[in-house]
Amino acid sequence: LATTEELGERIRAAKETLGDRVVVLGHFYQRDEVLQHADFVGDSFQLAQATKSRPDAEAIIFCGVHFMAETADLLSTPDQAVILPNLAAGCSMADMADIDSVTDCWEQLEDLYGTEPDADGRVPVIPVTYMNSSAALKAFCGEHGGIVCTSSNAETVLEWAFARGRRVLFFPDQHLGRNTAKAMGIPLEHMPMWNPRKPLGGSTADELGDAEVILWHGFCSVHKRFTVDQITAARLEHPDVRVIVHPECPMAVVDAADEYGSTDYIKKAIEAAPAGSTFAIGTEINLVQRLAAEHPEHTIFCLDPVICPCSTMYRIHSGYLAWVLEALVGTAEQPAEVVNRITVDQKVAGHARVALERMLAARP
C-alpha cells in the first residue's frame, strides 16, 4: 500500500503533467492530505463560483461530496468533465429529500393555497432548496419559480423568495431554514414542519394558512451532535470564549452561540480576530483542526469533544485523487481516460441551472 507521502508525490507529478488542463477544487471539510493539492478551497458557494471561473480546464476534480460535483457539472461548460474521486461520497442530509416526496408535498400545498398570485403579484409558495440536495430538486425549484441557497446566502435568498411569493417551502435542512427565518424575524409558529407521513403535513389548514416558511424534516448528522450543554461547558472553562457554529446546528445551539455562519464565515472570523482570542467552533472537525493548526496565536477547539468528521467527505482520500489524476494522464499501456465522471441528466439539467443562476444573481 502506498503511503500518504508517496500518494502526494504521485498527485503532484500527475498535476504537473496535466498543467492547466485540470483544476482541483476542495471543500473546507476535506482531509489536509487532499486539500494540500487543491487549486481552490472554499465553502459550497465559493466552489460553485470557482467552477465558473475556469472554463478553460478540461477536467474539474471535485474533492467534496456528490451534490457539489453535480452543481459543478451544471455550472461548467458542456466540454468540461467533472470528476468526483470517490463516487460513494454523498451527503446524508441531501438524501433526506427526494423528488417524489417533494412533488407530493407541493401538490398538497397547491390544493391548499391554490396557484394564483395575490394582488401584489406574489405566488402562494416559492420552493427553496439548500445546495445540499440532488440536481432533481434543484430542477424542481427552477421549474416552479424557486431558487437554491447555501449557508452563506440563505437570508438573501429568502428575501428574494419573499419578494416573489407569500411563503416558502424550504428543503431539505430544517435547521438552516428555521435559523435563517428566525433571524429575519419570522415567528416560530409561522414555520410549521412538513410531515410526509400525514396528509397536509399533520398540520391543520389554519396552521398552514399562517405559514411563512414550511420546513422539511432533513438535518445534518454531524451538526446535530452539537448541544447547548457543550456551549455552557466551553463558557465555564473559558469565560472569554467566542462560540461560532454553523447554521446547520439546531436552533437552541445557534441561539446559545455568539455567532453563526458558513464554513467561510467561521474561517474569516478567526482570521480577523485579535491574537490571543479563544474560539469554540461548532462544525466539522477537519476544518476546526486545520484552523487551529493555522492559527497558533489563538486557542481554537471543537465544541464536540468526540471527534466527528463528516463520514462522506472523509471518503475522498489521496489514493482516489491520485487514481483519477493518473487516469487522465494515461500510460503507454493505458490510454488517458476520464473516470468517475458526474453528469447530470439532461432532463433535469436545464431547470436546475435556472435555479442555480438565480442564486448566483441574487443580491442582498
Q: Residues marked as binding?
A: 27, 44, 91, 130-132, 151, 220, 246-248, 263, 310
Residue type, 357: E
Q: Give the angle 70-249-33 at the CA atoms, nearest 5°.
A: 55
Beta carbon nearer to ligand SF4, 30 or 203: 30
Are 149 and 158 spatial neighbours (Cβ–Cβ below 8 Å)? Answer: yes
Q: Which does 43 bind (CB under 5 to 8 A by kind): ligand 13P, ligand SF4, none?
A: ligand 13P
Q: Which residue is nearest to ligand 13P (CB)?
A: 43
Are 109 and 126 spatial neighbours (Cβ–Cβ below 8 Å)? Answer: no
Give the whole-angstrom CA distance, residue 29 versus residue 225. 16
Residue 264 is a binding residue for ligand SF4 (CB under 6 A): no
Beta carbon nearer to ligand SF4, 93 or 102: 93
From 220, 244, 256, 354, residue interacting with ligand SF4 (rule: CB under 6 A): 220
Residue 245 is a binding residue for ligand SF4 (CB under 6 A): no
Are 196 and 105 spatial neighbours (Cβ–Cβ below 8 Å)? Answer: yes
Question: Residues comprising the binding site for [4Fe-4S] cluster?
Answer: 91, 220, 310
Selected range binding ligand SF4 among 6-14, 133-141, 261-269, 308-316, rule: CB under 6 A:
308-316
Residue 284 is a binding residue for ligand SF4 (CB under 6 A): yes
Residue 132 is a binding residue for ligand SF4 (CB under 6 A): yes
Q: Smallest gap, in angstroms, from Cβ of residue 65 to ligand 13P?
A: 7
Q: What is the DSSP letter of 173?
A: B
From 47, 91, 280, 291, residue interacting with ligand SF4 (rule: CB under 6 A): 91
Give the binding site for ligand 13P (CB under 6 A). Answer: 43-45, 132, 150-152, 220, 248, 262-263
**All 3 cell numbers of residue 317?**
482520500
Residue 147: in which H helix or E strand, if any?
strand 147-149
Beta carbon nearer to ligand 13P, 43 or 212: 43
Inter-CA distances, 164 with 144, 160, 185, 281, 357, Å: 12, 7, 18, 36, 16
Are 91 and 318 spatial neighbours (Cβ–Cβ below 8 Å)? Answer: no
Beta carbon nearer to ligand SF4, 80 or 86: 86
Q: What is the DSSP letter of 169?
A: E
CA torsion through residues 203, 196, 359, 284, sign: positive
**Residues contributing to the site for ligand SF4 (CB under 6 A):** 65, 91-93, 132, 220-222, 248, 284, 310, 312-313
